[in-house]
Structure 1
Amino acid sequence: MGQRAPRRRGARRAALLAATMTASLAVGCTAHHGRPADDGRGESHSPTQSPSSGGTITAAGPVLAVKIDNVPEARPQTGLDAADIVYAEQVEGGLSRLMAVFATKLPKSVGPVRSARVSDLELLRQFDEPTLAFSGAQHKLLPLIAKAPLRSASPEQVSGAYYRGVKKSAPHNLYLRPDKLLSAAPGPAALTTGFRYGAAPAGGKPTASRTVRYPAARFTFSWSGDKHRWLVTEDGTPTVTTAGKRLAPATVVVQYVRIRKSRYHDVLGNNTPETVTVGSGKADVLRDGRTYSVDWKRQKATDGTEFTTSDGTPVNFAKGQVWVVFAKA
């Protein structure tokens, strides 16, 4: 995929903004960031590669990013198997929260949806005017979300896109209908992440299972030769969707980053960790039953993340869903 082309903020941005406004008005979107439904606890790009085919395609519309509740009470979740990328970050109390990114297809429903975090704003800068679906945020963070180069789509702004499920109790029962926000999936070119897809690099260490621990959560990825995928287990329980489908990404990235205290706190006074995704560091890429120790680099927020071997050779991911778990360096 190589370097991304300079941003052209003229006609392209105007067209995207017009499309966004039209879609927003169609479902009752307003410019008001009302009170959070959740207590908070919790430009053009160069062509890119398709995660499904590996081919080069032309840039399309914006991705849909959805904040997903990931405490045990929220599971099983809905729609995660349709995501192109699932990011896992640490939040208050050492728990985890997910951000699912959709580009190649849109499920009928996604959720449970929960609140945004300050780390999301930096992470989402790599995309061109993404739509962020979330259930609210800490009050001091809402003005930053309003100023960010994204389309904010909370229940207060787009009420017709959300509904409450009946099988879980609040706040773990808020779901999104993606087709109320996007008329169609934007396509793989919207995934301006810097990820490359193709043949595996040389070397690697045979790996049957890998566990990543947060203070109050853990992820385990077990290789299945039959499925040729990594089976996801969270907090000791196999991770499935509400339809009973086991979550099984083709590639897992354990990315070691700075996790620092932010100026935000939840209603109980717990500090909100801030995950820093601009910079450089080490990562482990899991694919095809092997682990590759690599370097990562993201020079500025509008860049994707490059993963390379020690000699600077780009590292390809396997075709299919990618999980990125941010771990403390």
Structure 2
Amino acid sequence: MLGGMKLRLLVAVSAAALTLTACSSSSDGGTKEPAKPDASKGTAKKLVEISPLTGRALPNGRPANPVFVVKVENTEGGAPQYGLNKADMVMEELVEGGLTRLAAFYYSNLPSKIGHVRSLRDTDIGIASPVGGQVVASGGAAGTYKRVQRAGVKVFSEDAGSPGFSSDPLKVRPYNRLIDLKTVAKKAKATKILGPYLPWTPVNSSTKTPAAGATNPAPPLQRKARRANVRFSNSTATSWKLAGSTWQRTNGHAAAGQDFKANTMIVMFCRVGDAGYTDPAGNPVPETKFEGKGRALVFHGSTVTEVVWHKPSLDEAITFATKAGEPYTIHPGKVFFELVPKGDGKVALG
């Protein structure tokens, strides 16, 4: 199980210079012998924590707060979105009516204004559990609350009286809820993070793909793209472009300068079932089955790599493999996941 994977990275600390001091001359030739090195000044190794959400070093160690997963409205009605630029990782998931919602992960930064906050979904169990994430939501259906609580996921909900919520005076319910994570963190207890969310490529590792041969399996299928259109339903698609070294949404709803810039964007094709209830408008609420395995596309730079994702259970992390079965790792950085419905979801490259 991936819980045993360590979150530490060995970083070599430069060896202290060893000064060679002269010894007294010998009686026969005056030759000098080097002094014995001081063991206290030798090469040392320093353990540095890495973020479970980005794979990047945490020079000051892990934050005292838990990972917070904030549910964010992702339609024009909830625009503008605040605080996404401070998130460590983001996921887009299908909700009722063919629309989508974001699950934004915050660990290294705790913004005082994130929004607009929406309700809990069953899918959030598989999203938050791998890193002991605590979900922040405006509310949720009674059955969903029970299932999430049985799964051991802590929820900070406005409906339950959790602190830190406020109203945006420029919006109306249910699109006007804001959250201050600094306030929430004062009431939260850090949960144990067993391992990284993704298999990160070591910083000093070569990323070259070996050519296929007698001893090497076939390399993963790769294509080039600078634009992508990720379709969730007939009514919802997210458009992307490569801007410099990051993938950015071109039809997102974030406030100016506050959108998430992804070093890597990953499209995962997932099974979708019925959550067993409807929203106030009578639309069936879907549940993305965030476990098992399926096809995935990894966008990093202008390269799009076809892989297979694996997530054995709701509380386990994600791993990837090529079609030949070779492990595939993700470059450290900020990652945006598109949890696209298997069958109905589509991706067009440009």
Does TM-score exceed 0.5, indicating one fold?
yes
| Alignment partner of 1:134 is 2:137 | yes
Q: Which amino acid aligns with 1:212?
A: V
Which position in structure 2 is the counterpart of 1:255? 268
Look up the match of 2:120. 116
Give the alignment's Cα RMSD to 1 decimal: 2.9
Residues 19-71 of structure 1, C-alpha deviations (whole Å, 9 max, x = no match): xxxxxxxxxxxxxxxxxxxxxxxxxxxx7656263689779753101100111
Q: Against the structure 1 CA distance between its residues 5 and 245, is the aligned structure 2 distance closer, same or farther, given a 3 Å change threshold?
A: closer
- Equivalent position to 1:71, from 72, 75, 95: 75
Alignment of 1:86-165 (within 5 A): 86-128=90-132, 130-165=133-168
Partner of 1:286: 299
Separation of aligned partners in 1, 2:51 and 2:179: 28
The corresponding residue for 2:226 is 208
Maintained 8 Å contact 2:270/2:340: yes
Distance 1:167 1:315, change over 3 A: farther
User: Is the Cα contact below 8 Å between 1:104 and 1:185 reproduced in 2?
Assistant: no
Listed one character per residue, the Cα deviations across residues 257-304 of structure 1 (whole Å, up to 9, x for unaligned) are: 101222121122211111011101110000011100001111122210
> Structure 2 CA distance, aligned partners of 1:308 and 1:185?
35
* Distance (whole Å) between structure 1 residues aligned to residue 165 and residue 63 of structure 2: 28
| Letter in structure 1 aligned against 2:171 | K
What amino acid is aligned across from residue 274 of structure 1 in structure 2?
E
1:265 correspondence with 2:265: no
- What letter matches 1:118 in structure 2? D
2:287 maps to a residue whose letter is E
What amino acid sits opposite 2:93 in the alignment?
E
Q: Is the 8 A contact 2:165 2:178 kept in 1?
A: yes
The number of residues matched between the two structures is: 281
In structure 2, do the counterparts of structure 1 residues 60 and 300 end up closer, same or farther at CA, with 3 Å as the change threshold? farther
Which residue is 1:229 aligned to? 246
DSSP 3-state at the match of 2:149: helix
d(CA) in 2 for partners of 1:186, 1:206: 41
State the match for 1:82 in structure 2.
86
Give the one of 176, 180, 198 matched to 2:179.
176
**Structure 2 CA distance for partners of 1:111 and 1:120, relative to 1, 3 Å:** same
Matched, 1:316 2:320: no
Quote the residue 1:166 is aligned against. 169
Task: Note if contact 2:200-2:332 (Cα within 8 Å) is conserved in structure 1.
Answer: no
SS at match of 1:312: coil
1:161-197 CA distance string (max 9 Å, x none): 100011222211100000112159979x677313414
Asked whether the 8 Å contact 1:67–1:113 carries over to 2, the reply is yes
Structure number with larger C-alpha Rg: 2
SS at match of 2:142: coil
Q: 1:195 to 1:219 in 2, by over 3 A?
A: farther
Q: Is the 8 A contact 1:259 1:275 kept in 2?
A: yes
Letter in 1 for 2:240: F
**Percent identity of the aligned residues?**
24
Unpaired runs of 5+ residues, structure 2, are 6-48, 210-219, 343-350
Aligned residue for 1:153, secondary structure, equals strand
In the other structure, the counterpart of 2:308 is 295
Match of 1:275 in 2: 288
Amino acid in structure 2 at the alignment position of 1:175: L
Distance 1:152 1:185, change over 3 A: closer
Partner of 2:37: none
**Structure 1 residues not aligned, in runs of 5+:** 7-46
Q: TM-score, normalised by structure 2?
A: 0.72
Match of 1:34 in 2: none
Whether the 8 Å contact between 2:223 and 2:304 is mirrored in structure 1 is yes
